[in-house]
Amino acid sequence: MKNIYLDNNATTQIDQHVLAAMTPYLKEFYGNASSMHHFGGQLRHRIDQSLHYYGRRAQQALEASRAQAAKLIGAQPDEIIFTSGGTESDNTAIHGVLASRPDKKHIITSRVEHPAVRAVCRLLQTRGYRLTELPVDALGQLDLKQLEEAITEDTALVTIMYANNETGVVFPVDQIARIVHAKDCLFHCDAVQAVGKLPIDLQQTEIDLLSISGHKLHGPKGIGVLYVRRGTPLTPFMVGGHQESGRRAGTENVAGIVAIGQACELAQTYMAEENSRVRRLRDKLETGLLKHCLDARVNGDTAHRLPNTTNISFEFVEGEAILLLMDSLGIAASSGSACTSGSLEPSHVLRAMGVPFTAVHGSIRFSLSRYTTEEEVDFVIREMPPIIQRLREISMFSAGKNSAPQAPYERKPQLDPIR
Ligand code: PLP
């Protein structure tokens, strides 16, 4: 049995070049990038004058990686802060901006954010902030007029994602940035799902802060970037040592930093070519599934979407059951239903879009990557319809709407596949 990994919005396979680039920084070049001097009784962090080779080597690698990350998004190296991942970048941006504007007590976000933003905003709400969560329409898009009207003198920050992790829907972030700036407010954008999949040039937009995560672009987990435009007020979130020019304390994850730099460079080199291939495969998969599975429909704005994502609802069947049968065939994807999402609530994104309950529960997200092949897509197009048909018959049968299932599905699922 072959393994087919279509859950790349959850995490991606590390690129072999990334692994090769980072490994020496775990094995040989393990120095602390912030080796310190002792000057006149005062501990001082000196970026360019580490006392020994190990520290200098790590420091050089760190700065090279900073330049690589900056280049991918059209930023300056000094606008890049390395963090432990997308979640920390989001937390830092939100807490950091609010702490630097203590007079303002209002935050604006959307109803479809990742928990790394949503939960932070809701926590702040319990601490006295006023929170506006902008609704989305049936396609998962925002009404920018509503955004404009929501911004007041008291608004400290607007935090809205670039691309949605569940549906792939892309928001018009350039326009959002302009609206936010016209009202003299700051804009943080969680671009964790967009970086590496869409070209981003921060010279051309007015985004103030932007979050990136290494493991979504074929880098390792536990490393991220927060872009902070020059001049943007940001109080440090992690405090302690003077790393990252005093903007993020903690001994630098040098190997992870080298890895995310390399991942950014690879993304930049191959993005255009890869994405047109991935888009074609995604479209083929989507068209094939819609054609061969009854009562299937795509969730989200297909005209403004990441090239690698399709979120399809197979109505009247349970997402978990679909995933289980898919898994028995070696196909990995994810679902917006409650159990699989690990929360009590089914997908808040699909619910915000007004997707009916039955369709939310039967929703499957397929997310492709540079490693997805045509053969894999063909396999999924062939194997999904019998899975859906079989489950529908079971659910119709248990609902007493049909006679006994006709057993058109001859493959016996292996419930405990070892791969
Ligand atoms: N934001 C979005 C849109 C995401 O999809 C994710 C991860 O799924 C995160 C933030 C969190 O990133 P990390 O896993 O690096 O903490």
Give the dihedral of Cα atoms 182, 184, 190, 191; nearest 10 deg. Answer: 40
State the pLDDT confidence band at 336, using cuts at 50, 70 and 90: confident
The answer to whether 339 is a known catalytic residue is yes
Q: Residues enclosing ligand 1, CB less than 6 A?
A: 85-87, 90, 114, 116, 161, 165, 190, 192-193, 213, 215, 224
Ligand 1 centre from 205 Cα, in Å?
Answer: 22
- CATH number at 16-270: 3.40.640.10
Residues ≥6 apart with Cβ < 8 Å to 27: none
Beta-carbon contacts of residue 16 (< 8 Å; ≥ 6 apart): none
User: In residues, how long is the chain?
Assistant: 419
H-run or E-run covering 66: helix 53-73
List pLDDT tens digits, range 97-136.
999 999 999 999 999 999 999 999 999 999 999 999 999 9
**Side chain identity at residue 102, one-letter code:** P
Residues with Cβ within 8 Å of residue 56, at least 6 apart in sequence: 31, 35, 50
Please list the residue range(s) of the chain that carry CATH number 3.40.640.10. Answer: 16-270
The answer as to CATH 3.10.20.340 being correct for domain 4-8+275-398 is no
- Show the tokens assigned to 273: 């070519």
Whether the pTM exceeds 0.75: the reply is: yes
Give me Rg for the CA atoms of the chain.
23
Rounded mean pLDDT, 185-202: 98
**Could you tell me if 312 and 298 are in contact, meaning their C-beta atoms sit under 8 angstroms apart?**
yes
Residue ranges, comma separated, of all CATH 3.90.1150.10 domains in the chain are: 4-8+275-398
CA atoms within 13 A on the CB side of 253: 18
User: Closest ligand 1 atom to the C-alpha of 116?
Assistant: 10
What is the model's pLDDT at position 397? 61
Q: What is the pLDDT of residues 14-43, one digit of tens each?
A: 999 999 999 999 999 999 998 764 443 344
Can you give the pLDDT at residue 399? 59
Find the Cα–Cα–Cα–Cα dihedral 176, 182, 188, 192, rounded to 10°: 30
What's the rounded Cα separation, in Å, for the pair 414 and 419?
Answer: 11
